Amino acid sequence: MTMRPDALTLRRRLIRDGLPMLLLAVAPLAAMAVDAGWLVPVFTRMAVFALAAMALHFILSIGGMVSLGHAAFFAIGGYVVGIGSQHAYDETPAPLGLPGWNDMLISLPAAFAVGALIAVPFGWLSLRTRGAYFIMITLALAQMIFYLLVSLRAYGGEDGISMWWGRNTLAGLEMSDRLALHAVCLVILALAWWVLSRMTAAPFGWVLDGARQNEARMRALGYRPLAYQIGAFALSGGIVAVAGALMANVDEFVSPGLGHWTVSGELLVIVILGGLGSLSGAVWGALVLLGLEEVLMEFTQHWAVIMGPLLVVIVLFARGGVGGFLDRLNMGKRHDDA
């Protein structure tokens, strides 16, 4: 019996896009049910890194922008939370004479705004080049932010800010409950997926994709690709900053390490591991990479030695990432049903 094409497409999307979200929603509940509540922050961390990787996926897949500088925005978001929270606790004025803030309704939009604003000049400078030069400029700019954060002695310098007074609240509600914080991260992840999916399918995404393939042709058609590319880079930077703000609440700690280039590399690995065919690939990549890390760390402190070859095997045998593998698996089922 042959399934209708629309039904096949729906099944593929449910498996590829819906299943990882469902896993992230159910896994913490299952962990609590079996008295393994310590695993909840692990799944929350997966959701946060999936959010950051999804923002990087957006500019990489349709814009062709391979950035090694997104750790800078991750750290910026974390410091928006840490600095605001510290001044709220100390009851001292924050930078620019602003009062301290300790509510996610303030810190998350502020993280997005600051991340996006800083991403604009970053994007403008980086997009003057292409290929390896683009990668190196984004890396250099991120390292500049990293050393700037190290120099902030008022906020701990290399040691960072320990938020021992607790996490941000949400509309006055405490976020000390791990499941509540996980739910917030999951809702924001789903919202980001919806927004970025709509933008990918909108004329904005078409122009970015057209510029990636043939920028001169897009200019001949009357578009200004650079403006679209900077806009996409700013949106991506803002979302990654929100992820950094959430991570600060998960760890109750921020440090310049959030902005180290290795974090950018980890986000890039997540994107590649999950596959570039769909935004949900970033979620699959985060589940696989961070899940493997957690499992291997239970067995050996030299887990990275095992992780490297495992990633190579996964990439070799799951061409197109996890998302591509699931699509091929689904197509195989389609032929079996025919």
Q: Considering only CA atoms, which of 194, 196, 226, 200 is closest in space to residue 211?
A: 226
| pLDDT value, residue 1 | 39
Whole-prediction pTM: 0.90
| pLDDT value, residue 90 | 87
Q: How far is CA 50 from each of CA 43, 111, 176, 288, rounded to the nearest angstrom? A: 10, 17, 22, 11
Unique residue bearing structure tokens 């004025």: 93
| pLDDT value, residue 330 | 59
Buried (b) or exposed (e) across 120-136, using 16+ Cβ within 10 A? eebbeebbeeeeeebbe
Tokens coding 18: 């819906």
Type of residue at 95: P
Q: Which residues does 255 contact at the CB level (< 8 Å), separation at least 6?
A: 149, 156, 158, 159, 160, 161
| pLDDT value, residue 331 | 57
Type of residue at 252: E
- Per-position pLDDT tens, the chain of length 338: 344 445 546 666 666 778 888 999 999 999 999 988 889 999 999 999 999 999 999 999 888 899 999 999 999 999 999 999 999 988 888 888 888 889 999 999 999 999 999 999 999 999 988 888 899 999 999 999 999 999 999 898 999 999 988 889 898 888 888 999 999 999 999 999 999 999 998 989 899 999 888 888 888 888 899 999 999 999 999 999 999 999 999 999 999 999 999 999 999 999 988 888 788 889 999 998 999 888 888 887 777 788 888 777 777 776 667 766 666 665 555 544 54
- Cα 202 to chain centroid distance, Å, stands at 21
Tokens coding 35: 């008295």
